[in-house]
């Protein structure tokens, strides 16, 4: 268990939890660092796919929570393996990263059903916790915290978007 101080007090990073610190928004996307309480390692992510991939790899490696289904595949023969690095971190690094980050989230994945995740996310700076039913919903909660008060839409049908505004 790792205990660190934030602007709002202390929090504990348990082995079953993942700490995500976003550092900036690139064209509306998320980037930052992912801290594993189980491995005591950090992985830098550049976009949402990297984030989802990193979290899923942690869950697969420790086997918790267990997945209910195997992922589908195009059955392409793998001829090359690309290994992304995660490195050991010092407890002080968490404090500095949280202090300088844009938004910090503590993730606890409780289930991996229907090829997605269910669990809880805590926005550390505001000490607000919300349950999520999918990885997409978790990303939407993180996006809301990154850009409070901003609702993003795509103008597929301009008349419908104007009516909703």
Rounded to a whole number of angstroms, the CA Rg of the chain reads 17
- In this prediction, residue 130 has a pLDDT band, given cuts at 50, 70 and 90, of very high
* pLDDT (0 to 100) of residue 1: 46
Given a cut of 50, whether residue 141 has pLDDT beyond it is yes
pLDDT at residue 9, rounded to an integer:
54
pLDDT one-digit tens code per residue, 48-69? 999 999 999 999 988 888 877 7
Question: Residue 61 is inside which H or E element, if any?
Answer: helix 48-62
Percent of the chain residues past pLDDT 90, beyond the cut:
35
Contact 135, 113 (CB under 8 A): no
pLDDT of 118 reads 95
């Amino acid at each position: 268990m790792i205990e660190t101080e934030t602007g709002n007090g202390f929090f504990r990073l348990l082995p079953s939890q993942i700490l995500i610190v976003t550092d900036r928004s690139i064209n509306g996307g998320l980037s930052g660092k992912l801290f594993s309480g189980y491995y005591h390692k950090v992985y830098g992510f550049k976009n949402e796919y990297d984030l989802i991939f990193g979290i899923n790899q942690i869950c697969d490696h420790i086997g918790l929570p267990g997945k209910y289904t195997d992922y589908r595949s195009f059955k392409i023969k793998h001829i090359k393996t690309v290994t992304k690095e995660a490195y050991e971190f010092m407890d002080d690094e968490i404090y500095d990263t949280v202090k300088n980050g844009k938004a910090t989230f503590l993730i606890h994945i409780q289930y991996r059903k229907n090829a997605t995740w269910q669990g809880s996310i805590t926005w550390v700076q505001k000490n607000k916790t919300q349950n999520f039913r999918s990885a997409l919903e978790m990303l939407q909660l993180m996006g809301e915290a990154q850009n409070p008060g901003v609702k993003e839409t795509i103008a597929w049908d301009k008349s419908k978007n104007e009516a909703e505004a």
